[in-house]
Amino acid sequence: MADRTKRLSTNVDGNFFVDATCINCDTCRQLAPTSFREEGDYSAVVHQPDGDGPLHQAYQALLACPVGSIGTIRSEKPRLQAARASFPLRLEGGVYYNGFNSEKSFGGNSFFIQHLGGNWLIDSPRYLKQLVEAFERMGGVKYIFLTHEDDVADSDKYARQFKASRIIHRAAAEAAPGAEWILEGEATVELAPGFQAIPVPGHTPGSIALLYDERFLFTGDHLWWDQESRALESPKRLVWSEPHLLHSIENLLDHRFEWVLAGHGDRVRLPVTEMRTQIGRLLERRQKATGRLAAV
């Protein structure tokens, strides 16, 4: 729980606050962008939420925060309960954002796909009774797709609970001992009808993206939407190989998708043509910044 005595001075006065345990993971800013903003090395409340929508979002952010850094002086129990019940949060069709981000993945987002052929968990939230029960109501979990070694979190517990198969790349397999399905190489692989694994080495050697239904691209830490620049971005720090990263971005031009659903950073939906334009612009910016071509 957040500690009032550690309340950051960058918060505006009022009920909601962020304390000094914040790890600046961006979760709260994604869920409640009108209330939270990055201030220095932390997130902070820059506008106290008012009205049903902003209050609901602020309570969602409080619950999703991986380290419990968001608190209230006075908690409204009905609003807190409503926010808790909203997770997993439906995005479109059978695709959901799980909430309850895990400190083990530095607050990385995780997602759930409800599908007639078996449900998918993409990366892992905290292992919580509420999510286990929600997944059970939605038909369980058949596959757990792990985008890279940083965001496995509690995937082993979910795998045991649901007898699910974990999918991970060979280059990241040490992070998921005993994983049931190991991918190799850098070629796109069809995992099931409508599901493709696209290796995207760069941030890490074992980074992979999941493309579902040629509409939803789950990118891990390879790609995300930046609200300030209104553009797609990719890692500039903690990059295993810049040439591989550029090549991986370029390879995405061969695929159709409307959604980018990132582990870290915001999600976005754009028309296919605009998404392709954004990928091209990102590639051009990175090539100019590094003086490198994408080929490896």
Domain boundaries, the chain: 4-84, 88-290
* Exposed e or buried b per residue across 61-97, where buried means at least 16 C-beta atoms within 10 angstroms of its C-beta: bbbbbbbebbbbeeeeeebeeebbeebbbebeebbbb
Residues of the chain with pLDDT under 70: 292-296
How far apart, in whole angstroms, are the C-alpha atoms of residue 81 and residue 223? 33
Tell me what pLDDT residue 296 has. Answer: 46
> Which residue in 225, 231, 246, 254 sits closest to 289, CA to CA?
246
Second-level CATH architecture of 4-84? 2-Layer Sandwich (3.30)
Task: Kindly compute the dihedral angle of the four CA atoms of residues 133, 126, 262, 256, in this order, to the nearest 10 degrees.
Answer: -30
| Preceding omega of 88 cis (within 30 degrees of 0) | yes
pLDDT 10s digits, 17-47: 999 999 999 999 999 999 999 999 999 999 9
Tokens of 284: 């051009």
Tokens of 269: 């939906």
Tell me what pLDDT residue 290 has. Answer: 79
How far apart, in whole angstroms, are the C-alpha atoms of residue 125 and residue 168? 16
Could you confirm whether domain 88-290 is CATH 3.60.15.10? yes
In the chain, which residue ranges form alpha helices assigned H by DSSP? 27-31, 52-64, 77-85, 129-137, 155-162, 242-251, 272-290
